[in-house]
Structure 1
């Protein structure tokens, strides 16, 4: 029987490597074998989730930069950068976004909404949400690459890290799982609140440092603001999902990631 959140042991170095494996093995399609599926490993994995975002965002940003160097315009570079995270997750986060939109938009009671989310087809709310989110991501990335390749890379990395930070915060204690099975149940309530908040503060500070190093003071402010707005937007969606569904699911985690990534990109495109 899984350990309850209050029974989880404190973090230990022995869970770090399994935690990294858990993070990369469950949040990407990279060939990483998950060696442990217990709650300490899940907690360590969710705390490592922003690192997965840095890797995915870095790969996305670099592809866009290479396309620019090869003579492509900012729009094509943005399309390439937006495609990388989708490929690294086999589109699971986008699928989660569409399913969550269908569940929320159905207006059905929690059990019926969860059943709708488990169906393989995508409804009108899901399609509309996917189209708008992908358009927003590509448009914001194009704006960044139109400034410079460095702005494009920074936008991709900050959005990727913010997306996974939203998942870490959703796994904090006090946020229940909507179902007794699935990835949502495996990681729900595994992350200590203090650890989640500390990670959010650290990522905000690192984004500001990176923005300042590449783009100056204004870039630092925008990068930090992007993380803050991304987290706030994802938390608003999380509260809505918990009220409607009774907790989180794997689909909700995907929706939070895409929502946070989009919000971060929009902030970085402004000004």
Structure 2
């Protein structure tokens, strides 16, 4: 497979994995998966651009909080709600205090336990409040903030799939993507998102990049704990990383002092 065809197939896989958009099928192997996971922040930026556009379009028509809630609804539709499901499964598994194999079995169950429900409520409330705050900012800053939050969430996936991080199971999404991303993609993605974040907080060009780096640092600690607890990454781990990182960035971008 040529480099160009691997890139095209990787882009298709990234779009098909991180959005609900239908894309033509292509080759799916670990090399293609590595390209897809490296491109995750770019797909996130495009998704954030669409969601930011929804927020800006709705803000003049209704209250900021309703606009924020509808924007989150669009986010769930555009991503099939997979990341939220991953967050709920991970929190249920961690809340069980059971060892790795038993925790992995809990994550396979289709139901959501009380820990997962609370996690979803808290994350969605924080995101909605942050989006309502961003709706009151200037259009360029508000749009940039949404793009940065969504892109950084997907950058967490790139970081989680870097070489040296194992899969928790021999099958599934985690087994396909674990350890497929080289050292360059996370660095390039972090720099690109941090540069964009410099315009997300009016009058504070330093705050956005600092928030991005801090959120990634927290997720790295979370990832280390999950790998130690579960034995590696799974699709649920990646989904939880997306939601935790995005929420931290949203929160950090609306903090003022």
Pick the TM interval, shorter chain: over 0.9
Structure 2 counterparts to residues 75-94 of structure 1, below 5 A: 75-94=65-84
Rounded to whole Å, the distance in 2 between the matches of 1:267 and 1:163 is 13
Report the 3-state secondary structure (helix = DSSP H, G, I; strand = E; otherwise coil) of the residue aligned with 1:35. Answer: coil
- The structural deviation recorded for 1:17 is 1.1
Choose from 111, 114, 118 the match for 1:121.
111
2:227 equivalent in structure 1: 242
- RMSD over aligned CA atoms reads 1.7
The answer to which of 192-201 and 19-28 deviates more is: 192-201
- The structural deviation recorded for 1:178 is 0.2
CA 1:175–1:46 in 2, change beyond 3 Å: closer, same or farther?
A: same
Rounded to whole Å, the distance in 2 between the matches of 1:104 and 1:242 is 12
Instruction: Count how many residue pairs are aligned between Structure 1 and Structure 2.
Output: 256
The answer on 1:172 being equivalent to 2:162 is: yes
- The structural deviation recorded for 1:225 is 2.0
Q: Deviations over 1:7-64 (max 9, x none)?
A: xx9x933322111101001111101133011111111111110011111111111111
Given that 2:144 and 2:196 are in contact with CA atoms closer than 8 Å, whether structure 1 keeps it comes out as: no
- The structural deviation recorded for 1:139 is 0.7
The answer to which of 136-145 and 222-231 deviates more is: 222-231
- The structural deviation recorded for 1:221 is 1.9
Rounded to whole Å, the distance in 2 between the matches of 1:216 and 1:142 is 16
Rounded to whole Å, the distance in 1 between the matches of 2:16 and 2:93 is 27
1:4 equivalent in structure 2: none
Given that 1:177 and 1:188 are in contact with CA atoms closer than 8 Å, whether structure 2 keeps it comes out as: yes
Choose from 151, 173, 183 the match for 1:183.
173
Unmatched 5+ residue regions in structure 1? 1-8
Choose from 90, 95, 102 the match for 1:100.
90
1:39 equivalent in structure 2: 30
Q: Deviations over 1:37-94 (max 9, x none)?
A: 111111111111001111111111111100113x212111211222222111111100
Given that 2:168 and 2:230 are in contact with CA atoms closer than 8 Å, whether structure 1 keeps it comes out as: yes
Q: Deviations over 1:87-117 (max 9, x none)?
A: 1111110000000001111100100000000
Given that 2:15 and 2:23 are in contact with CA atoms closer than 8 Å, whether structure 1 keeps it comes out as: yes
Rounded to whole Å, the distance in 2 between the matches of 1:198 and 1:151 is 22
Given that 1:60 and 1:80 are in contact with CA atoms closer than 8 Å, whether structure 2 keeps it comes out as: no
The answer on 1:136 being equivalent to 2:126 is: yes
Report the 3-state secondary structure (helix = DSSP H, G, I; strand = E; otherwise coil) of the residue aligned with 1:103. Answer: helix
Rounded to whole Å, the distance in 2 between the matches of 1:34 and 1:200 is 29
Unmatched 5+ residue regions in structure 2? none
